A and B are shown apart, each in its own frame.
Chain A
Amino acid sequence: MREVIAHALGIVRKDLVLEFRTRTGFISAAAFTAMVLMIFEFGRDPTAVPTIDLAPTILWITFSFGAMLALNRAFQLELENQALDGLLLAPISRTSLYWGKLLANLAFVAGVEAVGLPLFVLFFNVPVGHVLGALVGVIVLATVGFVAVGTLFSAMVIRTRFAELLLLVLLLPFLVAPLVAAVSITSALFAGRPLSEVMAWLKLLAAYDIVFVTLATLLFPSTVEE
C-alpha cells in the first residue's frame, strides 16, 4: 500500500514538474476561467437579476468548464513519444498510475479554482469571508468525484478520434449530480442558511465521491491494458 502511494506521488511530481516548466496549460486554464466569469457579467441584466441569486450558478459553471479543460491534458501529455507505453511498462501498479493522474488533475483543477474563486469574489462582490471554510469544503467534495470520473474517461478517449469533444459528451451527464448538489449547498451558504438544511446534498456529494473514486480505481486497468 505504501508503495502504491509512493509511486502515485512520483507520477504527481512528474506531471506537476512538467506543468510548472511549461505553464502553458495552467495559464490557459486560468485565463479561460477568468474570461468565463467575465462573460457571465455580460450575460445578465444587473438591474433585473441580483448577483447573489446568480452567484452559485456562475461559480459552478465556471469551475466545471475550467475542470473539463484541465482533464483533457492529463493523458494528452503522455501521447507524445509514446510516453504512456513507458508508464505502462514501468514496474508500478495501475492503481498508482490512476491515483497519480487523479491527484495531479486535482492539483491542477485546485490551482484553477484557487485563481477563479478570488476573481469571482472580486467581480461579483459576493461576500464569502464568513463561509469560506464551508465553501472550500464543498468545492473539494464536488471536484473530487467529478475529476475521478473525468480522469478515468480521459484515459480512454485520448486514443479515439474527436477526443476533446467526446470527453465532454461522455462526462457532462456525470457532472449534473455533483453540480446540482454543489449549487444548492452554495446557495444555502451564500444566503446564510445553516448547513443542516442541505445535509442530504452533502451526503449525496460524499457518496458520489466514494462510489466513483472506488469504481474508477477498479475500472482503470481495463482502460489501458492491451
Chain B
Amino acid sequence: MTLTRKGQAVTLIGLLSLAGVYVRAIGYTPIEIHQGLAQKIFYIHVPAAIYAEVAMMLVGLGGVLYLFLKDPRLDRFAAASAEVGTAFAVVVLTTGPIWGKTVWGTWWAWDARLTSTLLLFFLYIGYLLLRGTVTDPGARARYSAVVGICGTALIPFIHLSVYLFRTLHPQPIILKPSAPSLPWSMLETWLLSLGAFTVLYVGFVMQRYAIGAEERDHA
C-alpha cells in the first residue's frame, strides 16, 4: 500500500470518528444552558485550534531537526504539517465567527484569542509563500526551517498577549492550571473529538507528505 493510500485510509477513519463525535455531541451530550446549540461548535473549534498550533510547533521541531540532520524528509514533513496547520487555522477562523454571531452578537471581535489565530494563519501564509518563492531545495529547506523555528518561538508571545490584553473570549476551560470546569459528559465528547482530530492531522500529513515525495521524484 502506498503512503497516499495509507494516508487516505487514516483520514477516512478520522472523518468517520468525527461524524461519530457529532452524533454523540448532538444526541447524547447536554445542551449548554447559556450558549444553547451554538456551543456544539466547540467540539470542532477547540480541537482544530489546538492542532493549528501543534502543527506550527511540529513545523518548528522539524526545522530544528532539519538544521542538525539535513535530512530532506524532515523538511517535507514540516511543509506537510504547515499546510495541514493552515487548513486547521481556517477551520478555527470559520467556526469562531459562526459561534461569535450567536453568542457575542457579532461575527468578528478583535478578541485576543481570535486575533492570535489570525496571526498564526498569517504566519503560515508567510511560511508557505516563502517556500513557493525559493527554487533551490536546499535553500528552501533551510529558509523554511528558520521561519518555522521563529514562528514556534513566537507562539508563547502570542499567548502571553492573550492574558495581558483585555479579551471577550471565554477563558480557557480545559487547558488551564486548575481542573477543567466542564461537566464530564461534555469533556468526554470533547476528548473524543480531540482524538478524531489527532487522527485527521496524521492522515492529512501523510497524504501531503506523499505528494511532497512525488514532487521530488518528478523534479
Contact = CB atoms under 8 A, between A and B. Distances in A.
Interface of A: 149, 152-153, 156-157, 159-162, 166, 169-170, 172-174, 176-177, 180-181, 184, 200-201, 204, 207-208, 211-212, 215-216, 219, 222-223, 225
Interface string B135-164: 000010011011101110110011011001
B134 interface: yes
Interface stretch (B7-15, B77-85, B123-131, B188-196): B123-131
Nearest to B121: A173
Contacts of B154: 173-174, 177
Contacts of B123: 173
A143 to B, nearest CB: 16
Interface of B: 67, 119-120, 122-123, 125-127, 129-130, 133-134, 139, 142-143, 145-147, 149-151, 153-154, 157-158, 160-161, 164-165
A207 B164 CA distance: 15
A177 B165 CA distance: 11
Contacts of A216: 150
Contacts of B120: 173
B122 A177 contact: no
A176 B151 CA distance: 13
Contacts of B151: 173
A166 B165 contact: no
- Nearest 3 pairs between A and B by C-beta? A160-B133, A170-B126, A177-B157
Contact of A219 (B125, B149, B158): B149
B126 A176 contact: no
A160 B150 contact: no
B146 A219 contact: yes
Most buried by A among B67, B126, B134, B158: B126
Nearest to B116: A176
A170 to B, nearest CB: 4
B130 A157 contact: yes
B133 A177 contact: no
Contact of A177 (B127, B142, B146, B161): B161
Contacts of B126: 166, 169-170, 173
Contact of B122 (A153, A173, A184, A207): A173
Contact of A223 (B133, B143, B161): B143
Contact of A200 (B67, B127, B164): B164
A216 to B, nearest CB: 8
30 contacts: A152-B146, A153-B146, A156-B147, A159-B134, A161-B133, A162-B133, A166-B129, A166-B133, A169-B126, A169-B129, A170-B130, A172-B122, A173-B123, A173-B126, A173-B151, A173-B154, A174-B154, A176-B119, A176-B158, A177-B160, A181-B161, A204-B157, A204-B161, A211-B157, A212-B150, A215-B149, A216-B150, A219-B149, A223-B142, A223-B143
Contacts of A160: 130, 133-134
Contact of B142 (A166, A170, A215, A222): A222
Contacts of B129: 166, 169-170
Contacts of A207: 157
B112 to A, nearest CB: 9
A149 B67 CA distance: 18
Most buried by A among B129, B130, B157: B157
Nearest to B142: A222
B146 A156 contact: yes
A161 B146 CA distance: 18
Contact of A153 (B134, B145, B147, B160): B147
A172 B143 CA distance: 17
A177 B158 contact: yes
A223 B146 contact: yes
Given A160-B133, A173-B123, A215-B150, A222 B157 contact: no
A177 B150 CA distance: 13
Nearest to A222: B142
A159 B147 contact: no
Contacts of B134: 159-160
